[in-house]
Amino acid sequence: MSTPPRDKVQVGWICALPEEAAAAREMLDENFGTLKEQNGTDTNSYILGRIGNHYVAIAVLGQYGTTSATAVATNLSRTFSRSLKFGLMVGIAAGIPSPGHDIRLGDIVVSSPAGTCGGVVQYDTGKLVKDGKLERTGSLNAPPRLLLNAVGIMRSSTMTEVPKYLGYMEKAIHRNERTRKTFGRPDVSTDRLFRAECEHPATASTCEGCLPDWEQPRTAREDDEANIHYGIVESGNAVIKHAATRDQLGRETGALCFEMEAAGLMMDFPCIVVRGICDYADSHKNDTWHAYAALAAAAYAKELLDYVPSADLDTEKLVIEVCQIMSDQIQEVKQGLELAFRQREEQHQENIGRALDQELQDCHQAFKTSTYEAYKNVNPKREEGTCQWVLDNVLYHQWRGSDRHDLLWITADPGCGKSVLARSLADHDLVTSPPISICYFFFKDNEDQGSLPTALCALLHQLFGLQRQLLRNALPEWRKNGTQIKEEADALWRILDAAVSDEAFTSTIFILDALDECQTDHQEKLVEKLVHFYTERHSVTRQNWLKFLLTSRPYANIQNGFRSATESFPEIRIRGEDENGQIHKEIDHIVKRRVEQLAQEFNLAWETRQKLEDQLLRMRHRTYLWLHLAMEDLRTMLRISLEPEKLIQNLAKLIPDSVDAAYEKILQRVPRDARRLVKSTFQIIVGAWRPLTIPELAIALGAAMADWRRAAIAGLEPRGLAENIRQMCGLFVFIDSSERVYLMHQTAREFLVKNMTPDGREWPAQIRATHKYEDVKGDRLLEVTSKMSLITEA
Ligand SMILES: [Zn+2]
């Protein structure tokens, strides 16, 4: 018995399990043992043999699965490159019984073309998640014509003759005691098909406890023969152990069985798949039928080979000629395999990505807790030539140009245009190319916009929008706390800290405006965190940095907090009212521009205009806010005056000398019959815990002004209220596009809640809220607003 030359092997027989290899060996008419010399890069081991007129190489996969099938097939075609004509994939599979196919254990399924399918459908279990639906990733080419012809002849032959494979099985089973033990047919009572909803108990090792009631009723077969089914084989990379999934996939593809090797073959590897059915892909599956099913498949393959004329096979193309992907270049094969592997990996990553993407989006959305953009845009746009007291400042330029974590603190008295500056910095002045990330938050003295967690959420929401990768730093805390995270200043700061330490972090500026309007305890906490952050990291020069820019009034408590770190932090400090020449110069410039506009608008004589300008420039406490209020007030008076020129002659009395005086003047002009309404309006706006909308304000006003007993059902008509409020409360309030009513400036609130003693003049004292802010909240207003909330919630 001499080993045939390698060049005579035309059939590659590929199997995976020891039972399958043993069954294959039983089918050999002559066994030449293992192949001694082979390509050095080929890691397969082969048993060479003869079946009829064909020399066969049995190649055994080391393990289940499509990837190793690819490697085995590639090596097979390489080692037998000069003679190999086709492959047989022979082994076991899980059956998919259906009304159309009464598949039993031990039956045989042979891959056959159907419709556009070549006989093997590849599926990727990674893609099963989508609606539980199977996504086909491709199908193998149909088996070569030669094999299909052989199948055709065998099919017709078995219709009239006793097939030979049954005899091959008998012979193999009865060869000796061991083969009887290994390959003998298990008792038919162990072939149990359970209804899909009857799951195998997780703890039971056998089906002894699985009730006969659970079984699908099937008529007993007349004989115990292994039947043959021709159709589609489904091939994937995971074991299916779930009856409902099995049935669903079966319905979608019409497949008769699942297996795990064929899909790994290249599309054009010429082969046929022969499978013995060993279980039903459900939770009850076990190994009882493995060997018998493997033997049935092997016996079928042996008979099939009988129908392949070896003369025809000699003229058949070589596998390596058929497989474009293989050509002669091993390198190309490798690349193809790597590509296939990469594609599968990418699909997998894509699926993970999709799921993660949704989570990331939800996580990102959790930080959108305020309308931070609206609060920025409430501030007027900066006028050319203004805010130069900062923009020309050497400390500002040092901060801007430094390449390390840094902080700039800008303090100035009310009305110097800090918020206008902050908006301008965010929108224009700090914008660079290539862009750095600019995030901002404008504190406001209300429940909504005065808290540190809200500010941190806004900053993080913007940061994650600009640098999406950083979201990963928020996921752990978000998974732990959900949307609750928006309340946790410490957790939010930890996320910020992690994001800044992330290698994907790029240079970022955080602008925090009006720190003094942040709630006091939150203010302290923020200052503490900033001091800690910068004392730890400040000095290091780095490629990507985080810079803060803070604006605030020069309040002692904030200053004290910073004291421990002041040496490291530059501070631009302006006392807007009288200590800084720069800001006065800027305002003088604006004064001239405004007067010119006013002169044109009202056609003022040159002398009048000059007089007005002189008067304004002579004022000692000149701030932007003061100028704004004074000019607007002047414009109103001019509009209602019949003799504008004469009015201006009396200027000294007309121009308020401070912001408070300007507010006072505005109030004085409210008509007597509207005073009660204006007073109530201010009380409600000042006392409300968050900015109210016009309809809310209408209800509150109705309640406040009505008789107590009817308060709950009262309510003003909201239509037209916005316009009324704009006219009567004038420069104090601002109504945004979503109809929320704000106080224009923090100084307006302060003016309204000042606990002044009546100064004798009837009007301002009357309209002023005569309680302190806190008292207003706890007073009648509280009842009014709580009644309002009852009404709105009802
Ligand atoms: Zn069971």
Report the residue count for the chain.
794
Q: Left if phi > 0, otherwise alpha if psi is -120 to 50, otherwise beta: which for 132?
A: left
What is the rounded average pLDDT of the residues 711-730? 68
Q: Minimum mean pLDDT among 1-15, 429-443, 694-708, 745-759: which range?
A: 745-759
Nearest CA among 607, 560, 363, 390 for reference residue 481 = 363
pLDDT digits (tens, 9 = 90+) for 497-551: 999 988 889 999 999 999 888 888 898 888 888 888 877 765 566 778 899 999 9
3-state secondary structure of 283: coil
Q: Which of 260-264, 321-325, 623-627 has the lowest mean pLDDT?
A: 321-325
Side chain identity at 631, as an amino acid letter?
Answer: M
Give residue 139's Cα distance to chain centre: 33
Cβ atoms of residues 11 and 88 within 8 Å: yes
* Per-residue pLDDT at 769: 38
pLDDT (mean) for 740-756: 73
Lowest mean pLDDT among 162-171, 302-311, 340-349, 715-724: 340-349
3-state secondary structure of 463: helix
The span from the CA of 374 to the CA of 442, in Å, is 10
Ligand 1 center from residue 258 Cα (angstroms): 19
Which range among 293-307, 413-427, 448-462, 493-507 has the greatest average pLDDT? 293-307
Instruction: Decide: helix, strand or coil at residue 273.
Output: strand
Percentage with pLDDT > 90 across the chain: 27
Checking if the pLDDT of 790 tops 60, the result is no
pLDDT at 448 over 80: no
Rounded to the nearest angstrom, the distance between the alpha carbon of 215 and the centre of ligand 1 is 10
pLDDT of 533? 80
Q: How far apart are alpha carbons 177 and 172 in whole angstroms?
A: 11
Range with top average pLDDT, 109-113, 251-255, 266-270, 647-651: 109-113
Alpha helix (H) residue ranges in 366-404? 372-377, 388-391, 394-401
Ligand 1: centre distance to CA 211 (Å): 8
In which band, very low, low, confident or very high, does the pLDDT at 633 lie, cut at 50, 70 and 90? confident
CATH 3.40.50.1580 for the 6-328 domain, yes or no? yes
DSSP strand E in 420-495: where?
A: 437-442
Residue 752 pLDDT exceeds 70: yes
Position 247 pLDDT exceeds 50: yes
Helix locations, 86-195, DSSP H? 145-160, 164-173, 177-183
**Phi–psi pair at 307, nearest 5 degrees:** -90, 0
Render pLDDT for 545-568 as a digit per residue (tens, 0 to 9). 899 999 988 777 777 776 665 566
pLDDT tens column, 353-375: 666 677 888 888 889 888 888 88
Q: What is the pLDDT of residue 564?
A: 63
Taking the centre of ligand 1 as the mean of its atom positions, its distance from the CA of residue 230, in whole angstroms, is 28
Output the CA 102–ligand 1 centroid distance in Å: 20
* 768 pLDDT tier (thresholds 50, 70, 90): very low
Kindly state the helix (H) or strand (E) to which residue 574 belongs, with its residue range: strand 571-574
More confident residue, 647 or 299: 299
Per DSSP, the chain holds a count of helices (H) and strands (E) of 32, 20
Question: Measured in angstroms, how far is the CA atom of residue 243 from the centroid of ligand 1?
Answer: 12
* Confidence class for position 767, pLDDT limits 50, 70, 90: very low
Ligand 1 centroid to residue 255 C-alpha, Å: 24
Dig out the tokens for 60 from the structure: 């055994």
Distance 789 CA to ligand 1 centre (A): 61
pLDDT above 80: residue 474? yes
Are 259 and 300 within 8 A, CB to CB?
Answer: no
Pick from 337-341, 521-525, 715-719, 756-760: least confident: 756-760
CATH of domain 372-574: 3.40.50.300
Q: How far is residue 416 from each of residues 268, 444, 659, measured CA to CA in Å?
A: 78, 17, 11
- Distance from the alpha carbon of residue 206 to the mean position of ligand 1, in angstroms: 6
How far is the centre of ligand 1, averaged over its atoms, from the C-alpha of 207 (Å)? 4
Phi first, then psi: give them for residue 761, nearest 5 degrees: -75, 135
Chain-centre distance for alpha carbon 779:
47
CB 29 within 8 A of CB 52: yes
Cis peptide upstream of residue 434 (ω within 30 degrees of 0): yes
Cα 105 to ligand 1 centre (Å): 15
Alpha carbon 565 to its chain centroid, in Å, reads 38
pLDDT digits (tens, 9 = 90+) for 156-178: 998 899 999 999 999 999 999 99
Separation of CA 201 and ligand 1 centre (Å): 7
Residue 765 has pLDDT above 50, yes or no: no
Mean pLDDT, residues 405-415:
82
C-alpha dist (Å) from residue 145 to 115, 151, 157, 271, 644: 16, 10, 18, 10, 105
Q: What are residue 244's phi and psi, to 5 degrees?
A: -65, -40
Query: How many CB atoms lie under 10 A from the CB of residue 494?
Result: 15
For residue 569 the two structure tokens come to 């932090």
Ligand 1 centroid – CA 283 distance (Å): 7
pLDDT at 718 over 60: yes
* CA–centroid distance, residue 232 to ligand 1 (Å): 27
Burial (CB count within 10 angstroms: exposed 0-12, middle 13-18, buried 19+), residue 486: buried
Give yes or no for a contact between 366 and 483, defined as CB atoms under 8 angstroms apart.
yes
Q: Token pair of 657, please? A: 């000398």
Q: How far is the CA of 245 from the centre of ligand 1 (A)?
A: 17
Contact between residue 174 and residue 180 where contact means Cβ atoms under 8 Å apart? yes
Please state, in angstroms and as integers, the Cα–Cα distance from residue 397 to each residue in 10, 388, 468, following that order: 81, 12, 29
Centre of ligand 1 to C-alpha 221, Å, is 22
200 Cα to the center of ligand 1, angstroms: 4
65 C-alpha to ligand 1 centroid (Å): 25
DSSP 467: S
Token pair 């049954």 is found at 166
| Alpha carbon distance 268, 197 (integer Å) | 39
Cβ contacts of 109 within 8 Å, gap of 6 or more: 93, 95, 103, 228, 229, 230, 231, 233, 256, 257, 274, 275, 277
- Over the stretch 654-703, which tens digit does the pLDDT of each residue have? 788 788 888 887 777 777 777 777 887 887 887 777 788 888 888 777 77
Asked whether the predicted pLDDT for residue 749 surpasses 70, the reply is: yes
Q: How far is the CA of 121 from the centre of ligand 1 (A)?
A: 29
Å from CA of 597 to ligand 1 middle = 92
Ligand 1 center from residue 94 Cα (angstroms): 15
Is 592's pLDDT higher than 70? yes
Q: How confident is the model at residue 183 (pLDDT cuts 50, 70, 90)?
A: very high
Per-residue confidence (pLDDT) for residue 336, from 0 to 100 = 56
- pLDDT value of position 761: 36
Query: How far, in Å, from the CA of 278 to the mean position of ligand 1?
Result: 14
Q: What is the pLDDT of residue 565?
A: 59
pLDDT value at 140 more than 80: no
Taking the chain, what is the end-to-end CA distance rounded to the nearest angstrom?
Answer: 98
Q: Give the distance (Å) from ligand 1 centre to CA of residue 104.
A: 16
Give the model's pLDDT for residue 624. Answer: 81
* pLDDT at position 154 over 80: yes
Q: How far apart are CA 141 and CA 127, in angstroms?
A: 22
Q: How far is the CA of 216 from the centre of ligand 1 (A)?
A: 13
pLDDT, position 508: 93
Q: Which tops the pLDDT comparison, 579 or 11?
A: 11
Lowest mean per-residue pLDDT among 36-40, 604-608, 763-767: 763-767
Dihedral (Cα; 51, 55, 61, 64), 10-degree rounding: -40
The rounded Å distance from CA 281 to ligand 1 centre is: 12
Between the CA of 326 and the centroid of ligand 1 the distance, in Å, is 45
Identify the pLDDT of residue 782.
46
Tell how far the Cα of 284 is from the centroid of ligand 1, in angstroms.
Answer: 4
Helices (H), 256-329: 290-306, 310-315, 319-322
Asked if 450 contacts 521 with a C-beta cutoff of 8 angstroms, the reply is no
> What is the whole-number distance in angstroms between the Cα of residue 345 and the centre of ligand 1?
35
Q: Apex CA 511: angle with CA 509 and CA 514, to 5°?
A: 165
Lowest mean pLDDT among 179-183, 650-654, 741-745, 747-751: 650-654
pLDDT at 473 over 50: yes
CA 18 to ligand 1 centroid distance, Å: 25
In whole angstroms, give the CA distance from residue 463 to residue 498.
13
- Residue 138's pLDDT is what? 63
State in Å: Cα 172 to ligand 1 middle.
30
Which residues, listed in sequence order, are joined to residue 410 by a DSSP beta bridge?
A: 551, 572
pLDDT confidence of residue 424:
92
CA distance 71 to 44: 9
User: Is the CB of residue 240 less than 8 Å from the CB of residue 258?
Assistant: yes
The pLDDT mean for the chain works out to: 80
Q: What is the DSSP letter of 164?
A: H
How far CA 124 is from CA of 264, 282, 766, in Å, comes to 11, 19, 79
Q: Which of the listed ranges 175-189, 462-476, 550-564 does the model predict with the highest average pLDDT?
A: 175-189
Omega prior to 476 cis, within 30 of 0: no
Dist. CA 409 → ligand 1 center (Å)? 73
CB 746 within 8 A of CB 517: yes
Backbone angles phi, psi at 16, to 5 degrees: -115, -45
Q: Tell me how far apart the alpha carbons of residues 325 and 319 are, in angstroms, rounded to a whole number.
A: 11
pLDDT given for residue 350 in this prediction = 65
Any residues with CB less than 8 A from the CB of 346 and at least 6 apart, and which? none
Give me the amino acid identity at 284: H
The residue that leads in pLDDT, 219 or 725, is: 219
CA dist 355 and 359 (Å) reads 7
Measure the CA–CA gap between 373 and 608, rounded to whole angstroms. 42
What pLDDT, on the 0 to 100 scale, is given for residue 779?
A: 44
520 close to 443: Cβ distance less than 8 angstroms: no
Q: State which H helix or E strand residue 762 sits in.
A: helix 762-767
Q: List pLDDT tens digits, range 47-57.
A: 999 999 999 99
> At residue 552, what are phi and psi to the nearest 5 degrees?
-165, 165
* Residue 220 alpha carbon to ligand 1 centre in Å: 20
437-442/508-513 β-pairing: parallel
Of 14-23, 264-273, 750-759, the range with the highest mean pLDDT is 14-23
Neighbours of 37 (CB within 10 A): 8
198 CA → ligand 1 middle, Å: 9
**Distance from C-alpha of 320 to C-alpha of 88, rounded to nearest angstrom:** 16
